[in-house]
Amino acid sequence: MPQPLQLEQFMQLVRQRNPHEPEFHQAVEEVAESLIPFINQHPRYLEHRILERMCEPDRAILFRVTWEDDAGEIHVNRGYRVQFNNSIGPYKGGLRFHPTVNLSVLKFLGFEQTFKNSLTDLPMGAGKGGSDFNPKGKSDREVMRFCQAFMSELYHYIGENVDIPAGDIGVGGREIAYLFGQYKRLTHEFAGVLTGKALEYGGSLVRLEATGYGVVYFLKNMLEFHRMETTGRRCVISGSGNVAIFAAEKAMQLGMRVLTLSDSGGFVHFKKGLTAEQLAFIKQLKMLHRGRISAVAEKYPEVEYHSGEKPWGIPCDAALPCATQNELDENDAKTLIAHGCQAVCEGANMPCTKAAIDLFLASAVLYAPGKASNAGGVAVSGLEMSQNSQRLSWSREELDAMLRTIMRKIHDKCVRYGQEGERVNYLKGANIAGFVKVADAMVAFGVM
């Protein structure tokens, strides 16, 4: 029987085995801290070395992507797919196109995805992929040629029962369409091999909105559980992509006041709250024209633009970081707590640094980790897969009801495993609840 695990020793091993991967170390530590005491109380997980095995992806595929720009210049990018764990279903998770993409980032995302997908209760394993390609400033045709070149390598490794990618930062409907078209051309097969597709070729209603809506459903569950009102709450949101836009939309529908949105250039402050007209403008601006958030302040004089700043200094009741990893640090956490913020609900993956999370857990702030609160996107991806298998499409009402139910069940699992006296430690709850299903499957399979 192996010795009980010790966090410091365990993390030392993870750092040694995965040098120069700070984001991966951070994601593992966040999970190991709450899991190790639980595993030490459950010797079969210890005996089967489940945590050690879960920290090692099944495989990581790296490939060259060569493409030609509009001027005929040749470019070389790197493509990746990290197939993390398929114990409870085929690999499932997004593709990210962003210059900061590297193996550490994709391993952290794939690791997180393992727990998130398990929490949804749908049969989905975990993977993540992408490229250091920067879609900003590229023409449609350049993006198309890049996506086709990327899929020409990736298609060897994916399949509707093997690995089903979707979108993430820099990969939305346009990119999924180019990727899907190329997969179909190469394989002569019309298969549900990607999710986030448009409705015409096998997409699902509500997938577009699912992550953002799910974040706000989770926030509502968390507030209600603690006997707090949702209506009238002031909400600070970062990002202005897929997740942020639909988190803002749902927050407004539930009577919250959305005070900010942002992008990598700065944030916009809606002093009286974002209006429906402004949100419609932002959807066009961001989703169609790929513009900058500063354009909102140029169009609406009552909106203030803060160049180069993050939105966390605006006093609020709830903060929803929906842009990227490590966008909310210790100082931001101190500011939020000092301003009386009551809830932090992560839309992005790992947006809060470890020091920020530790401050939230030590304060009265309700803190929801992304693997629980942003699971709505992958959950509706799972429902898109079910519809593809059935050759049927479900209605918006049915899908929205399923999304709500899934988010409530995730919330309740966090409570079940994370209750500490009067408090709920949602991080611990999500980590343990997500772990158990995958771990039990791995134990059942034996040594592999």
The nearest distance, CB 177 to ligand NDP, in angstroms, is: 15
Task: Tell me whether residue 86 or residue 349 sits nearer to ligand 2IT (CB atom).
Answer: 349
Q: Which does 195 bind (CB under 5 to 8 A by kind): ligand NDP, ligand 2IT, none?
A: ligand 2IT
Task: Tell me whether residue 89 or residue 241 sits nearer to ligand NDP (CB atom).
Answer: 241
**How far is 306 from 266, CA to CA, in rounded Å?**
6
* 93: region left, alpha or beta (phi > 0 left; psi from -120 to 50 alpha): left
Task: Tell me whether residue 93 or residue 311 sits nearer to ligand 2IT (CB atom).
Answer: 93
**Active-site residue 128, yes or no?**
yes
State the DSSP code for 4. Answer: P
Contact with ligand 2IT (CB under 6 A): which of 25, 48, 81, 92?
92
Sign of CA dihedral 421, 423, 427, 430: positive
Site membership for ligand 2IT, residue 378 (CB under 6 A): yes
Q: Residue 389 is encoded by which pair of tokens?
A: 């298998």
Q: Which does 425 bind (CB under 5 to 8 A by kind): ligand 2IT, ligand NDP, none?
A: none
How would DSSP label each residue in 276-327?
HHHHHHHHIIIIIS---THHHHHH-TTEEEEET--GGGS--SEEEE-S-TT-
- Window of 8-16, 89-97, 213-221, 306-314 that interacts with ligand 2IT by CB under 6 A: 89-97
The nearest distance, CB 253 to ligand NDP, in angstroms, is: 19
Task: Tell me whether residue 208 or residue 432 sits nearer to ligand 2IT (CB atom).
Answer: 208
Task: Tell me whether residue 314 or residue 322 sits nearer to ligand NDP (CB atom).
Answer: 322
Contact with ligand 2IT (CB under 6 A): which of 89, 93, 129, 434?
93
* Residue closest to 438 by CA, chosen among 60, 123, 58, 59: 123
- Window of 357-365, 376-384, 411-419, 440-448 that interacts with ligand 2IT by CB under 6 A: 376-384
The nearest distance, CB 240 to ligand NDP, in angstroms, is: 4
Q: Rule CB under 6 A: which of 103-162 touch ligand 2IT?
A: 116
Site membership for ligand 2IT, residue 429 (CB under 6 A): no
Q: Rule CB under 6 A: which of 304-343 touch ligand 2IT?
A: none
Q: Name the one residue in this structure whose structure tokens are 């530590």.
A: 29
State the burial class of residue 352 (Cβ atoms within 10 Å of its Cβ: 0-12, 13-18, 19+).
Answer: buried
**How far is 445 from 448, CA to CA, in rounded Å?**
7
Alpha-carbon dihedral angle through residues 171, 176, 181, 186, given to the nearest 10 degrees: 70
Residues that bind ligand NDP (CB under 6 A): 167-170, 172, 211, 239-244, 263-265, 322-324, 327, 347-349, 374, 377
Cα-based angle 224, 207, 299 (whole degrees, multiple of 5): 85
* Count, residues near ligand 2IT per rule CB under 6 A: 11
**How far is 412 from 417, CA to CA, in rounded Å?**
9
From 128, 197, 220, 371, the catalytic residue: 128
**How far is 219 from 204, CA to CA, in rounded Å?**
24
Task: Tell me whether residue 194 or residue 333 sits nearer to ligand 2IT (CB atom).
Answer: 194
Q: Provide the 10 A C-beta neighbour count for residue 35.
A: 26
List residues binding ligand 2IT (CB under 6 A).
92-94, 116, 166, 168, 195, 349, 377-378, 381
**Residues labelled as active-site residues:** 128
